[in-house]
C-alpha cells in the first residue's frame, strides 16, 4: 500500500480523505489517504516522517502551508511566488513542494463556467493567502487585467505589486473594498476570496447587491454554504455564478495527479464531495 495524507491542525472536518480514497479506489490504485492532526511543535518531524515512512506525499492545510516550506528539498516556482505549499511529493526521498490551489481554482472556473479568461476584465475581493494563489494562477492562465480590492488597501497594493513583478504583461491595480463599485460596473468577472459570507455568518456579503449586474460572472471561493449571499444576489441580477467547491475538488485532483501520474477521476471526486456537503 502506498500512503498519502493530510497535515493540518485541525483536520477532523476535512473531506480530503473521503475524496482521495474514493478516487484511488475508482482507479484501482493501492493507495490510501489519512488525515494527521499535527501539533505545531512537531511540523518538521512530521515532514521528515514522510521520507522515513516512504509516504508518496501529503497535502498540507491551515496553519502549515507556509511553515512546511522550510523543511522541503525543493519548492516549485509557482509555490514560491504564492509563498505557500499545499502538496508535497516524495520523489525517492527528495521532498518537493507544489501549490495546486490556484491552478485548481482556474481549472474549476474555466471548466464549470466555460468563460475565456483572455477576454475578461476582473475584480478580486481580498488580499490574503487565498487571493494570492488565485491571482497568480489567473494571470498566468491569460487573464489580462485585475483590480484587487481589499478592506486593508495596503495589503491589496502589496499583492498588486507582487503580481506585476511575477506576471509583467498583466495590468494589475489596487483599491479599497468600499471603492470597488465603479470598477465592477465595467468588469466581467468578480472573484470573492474573503471569509465574508462563510458559515455561520451566511447573511453577510462583501458588496451591496446594487453593485452587481447581469454582465458578470461571480465566483465565490466559499463552499460552505455553496450558495453565499453574494451568489444569491448575483443570480437575482442575472449574473452567472460559480462556487468554491470545484476549487477544492480540482486542487485535490492535481495533487492526485502528482502522486499517481494518472488523470484524476474528477467526476467521482465531485460526486463524493457533493454527497458529503448535502
Q: Are 34 and 230 in contact (CB under 8 A)?
A: no
Q: Counting contacts by CB under 6 A, is residue 155 touching ligand ATR?
A: yes
Q: Counting contacts by CB under 6 A, is residue 195 touching ligand ATR?
A: yes
Could you give the string, one character per residue 163-182, with x where binding to ligand ATR holds by CB under 6 A and - elsewhere?
--------------x-----
Q: Is 65 a catalytic residue?
A: yes
Q: Counting contacts by CB under 6 A, is residue 190 touching ligand ATR?
A: no
Candidate segments 47-55, 126-134, 168-176, 178-186, binder of ligand ATR by CB under 6 A: 126-134
Q: Counting contacts by CB under 6 A, is residue 126 touching ligand ATR?
A: yes
Cα distances (angstroms) measured from residue 262 to each of 28, 70, 104: 11, 29, 16
CB of 166 to ligand ATR, least distance (A): 18
What is the H or E stretch that residue 231 is in?
A: helix 229-236
Give the one residue of 60, 75, 130, 167 binding ligand ATR; rule: CB under 6 A. 130
CA–CA separation, 189 vs 203, rounded Å? 22
What is the H or E stretch that residue 5 is in?
A: strand 2-8
- Output 127 or 249, the one with its CB closest to ligand ATR: 127
CA–CA separation, 89 vs 96, rounded Å? 5
- Output 76 or 101, the one with its CB closest to ligand ATR: 101
Nearest to 61 by CA among 46, 49, 48: 46
Residues 133-152 that bind ligand ATR (CB under 6 A): 150-152
CA–CA separation, 2 vs 141, rounded Å? 33
Q: Counting contacts by CB under 6 A, is residue 193 touching ligand ATR?
A: yes
Catalytic site positions: 65
Amino acid at each position: 500500500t502506498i500512503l498519502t495524507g493530510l497535515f493540518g491542525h485541525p483536520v477532523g472536518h476535512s473531506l480530503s480523505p473521503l475524496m482521495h480514497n474514493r478516487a484511488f479506489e475508482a482507479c484501482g490504485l493501492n493507495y490510501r489517504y489519512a488525515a494527521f492532526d499535527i501539533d505545531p511543535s512537531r511540523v518538521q518531524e512530521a515532514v521528515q516522517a514522510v521520507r522515513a515512512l516512504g509516504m508518496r506525499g501529503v497535502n498540507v492545510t491551515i496553519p502549515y502551508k507556509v511553515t512546511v516550506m522550510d523543511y522541503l528539498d525543493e519548492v516549485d516556482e509557482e509555490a514560491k511566488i504564492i509563498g505557500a505549499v499545499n502538496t508535497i511529493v516524495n520523489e525517492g526521498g527528495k521532498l518537493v513542494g507544489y501549490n495546486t490551489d490556484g491552478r485548481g481554482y482556474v481549472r474549476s472556473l474555466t471548466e464549470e463556467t466555460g468563460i475565456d479568461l483572455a477576454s475578461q476584465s476582473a475584480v478580486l475581493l481580498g488580499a490574503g493567502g487565498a487571493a494570492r494563489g488565485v491571482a497568480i494562477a489567473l494571470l498566468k492562465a491569460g487573464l489580462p487585467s485585475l483590480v484587487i480590492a481589499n478592506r486593508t488597501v495596503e495589503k491589496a497594493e502589496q499583492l498588486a505589486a507582487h503580481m506585476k513583478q511575477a506576471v509583467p504583461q498583466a495590468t494589475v491595480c489596487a483599491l479599497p473594498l468600499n471603492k470597488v463599485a465603479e470598477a465592477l460596473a465595467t468588469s466581467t468577472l468578480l472573484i470573492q476570496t474573503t471569509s465574508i459570507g462563510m458559515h455561520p455568518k451566511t447573511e453577510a456579503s462583501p458588496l451591496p447587491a446594487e453593485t452587481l449586474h447581469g454582465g458578470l460572472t461571480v465566483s465565490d471561493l466559499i463552499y460552505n454554504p455553496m450558495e453565499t449571499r453574494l451568489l444569491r444576489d448575483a443570480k437575482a441580477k442575472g449574473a452567472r455564478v460559480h462556487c468554491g467547491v470545484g476549487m477544492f475538488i480540482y486542487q485535490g485532483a492535481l495533487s492526485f495527479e502528482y502522486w499517481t501520474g494518472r488523470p484524476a477521476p474528477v467526476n467521482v471526486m465531485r460526486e463524493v464531495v457533493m454527497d458529503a456537503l448535502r
